[in-house]
Amino acid sequence: MSVRKILVPLAGRAEDVEVLTTALSVSRAFEAQLVVLFTRPDPTEALPYLGDGVSGQVIEDLMQAAREGADQASGRVKSALTKIAGDAGVPLAEKGGEVKLPSVRFLDVTGRRDEVVAAHSRLSDLIVFGEGTTGVAGGTALEAAMMSAGRPVLIAPQKSWNPVGGSVCIGWDDSAEAAHAVTAAIPFLEEAKKVTILCVGGKELDPGPGSTLADYLELHGVVADVHLVDAAGRAAGEVLLEQAEAAKTDLLVMGGYSHSRLREFIIGGVTQHIRSHATIPVLMAH
């Protein structure tokens, strides 16, 4: 298992710098290529919503303003990438040129963001997201990468992280989603100095699943401690984050959306809580 291509969808916001720095630290650790993806909206898609009474000149002005706004945002992303990569001594990959790792690439693609991200995620090993404008990490683009493209995602919240994965906590509930997250995280786990398996539940929590995971990881040369945590009636997501933060973890590994996205959105759930409250990097897979 290896990480050779890391995709980072960015929109030209101030917090892009922190996300880029975290993603580049992961890219350098694995000697991978970091591909920064900027998706510009297609202004013609808004035409049906303008109505018949809008003059051609107004339409042209609106489309021109949209193009200029996208150009400016794209320029901010590319400038940030160029500076951060240059400061780190990581080269910009040239199309058709010699493959160098680690390296960075910049893509500017027109289309619907979730569709573009999903398409480019399918042949990526890891997709890195920041918090987004809604306070929920990654927005619909994260769901597109994880659910539609079936790829693991890394939430990079609040600040720059380097390293990512020196100390790892695994939120383990014996689900298929958690298993997918663990296998996706093997490159991190193999390099980690400390790995803790957190099983959150009631007082009579079965130690068996945690031990089974520890046995599996041992085959990969990873020694992990198993901690059984009594949630005492509290939400599992809240307890999981609290335990990971208390252990000074710099990577939490967990399954995403064991329940439906609609159920999580309406009544809450572990995934939704983590996406809204994560203060440390989180690797999720579905």
Does 161 fall in a domain? Answer: no
Per-residue model confidence as pLDDT tens digits over 83-107 = 999 999 999 998 777 889 999 999 9
C-alpha to C-alpha distance for 175 and 278, rounded to whole angstroms: 21
Q: Could you give the number of structural domains in the chain?
A: 2
61 and 92 assigned to the same domain: yes
What does the pLDDT look like over 201-255, one tens digit per residue?
Answer: 988 889 999 999 999 999 999 999 999 999 998 989 999 999 999 999 999 999 9
CA–CA–CA angle 207, 213, 217 (5° rounding): 140
In a domain, residue 34? The reply is yes
- Among the ranges given (144-148, 152-156, 232-236, 259-263), the one the predictor scored with the smallest mean pLDDT: 259-263
Task: Mark whether 137 and 36 lie in a shared domain.
Answer: yes
Same-domain status, 41 and 109: yes
Domain at 70, CATH number:
3.40.50.620
Q: E strands, the chain, where?
A: 5-10, 33-40, 103-110, 126-129, 153-155, 167-171, 194-201, 224-230, 251-255, 282-285
What pTM did the predictor assign?
Answer: 0.91
For residues 144 and 18, membership in a common domain is answered with yes
Same domain, 194 and 250: yes
Residue 55: inside a domain: yes
Question: Residue 135 — pLDDT band, cuts 50, 70, 90?
Answer: low
Closest by alpha carbon to 169, among 195, 191, 192? 195
Q: How far apart are CA 102 and CA 171, in angstroms?
A: 30
Contact 251, 186 (CB under 8 A): no
10 Å CB burial of residue 146 (0-12, 13-18, 19+) is buried
Q: Do 214 and 236 lie in a common domain?
A: yes
Closest CA to 6 of 44, 25, 33, 29: 33
User: Which range is most confident: 9-18, 43-52, 126-135, 220-229?
Assistant: 220-229
Q: Is residue 162 part of a domain?
A: no
User: CA triplet 82, 112, 145: central angle to 5 degrees?
Assistant: 75
Identify whether the C-beta of residue 17 lies closer than 8 Å to the C-beta of residue 80. yes
In a domain, 149, yes or no: yes
Q: Which domain holds residue 199?
A: 167-285
Say whether both 19 and 114 belong to one domain: yes
- Domain closes at, from 134, 155, 176: 155
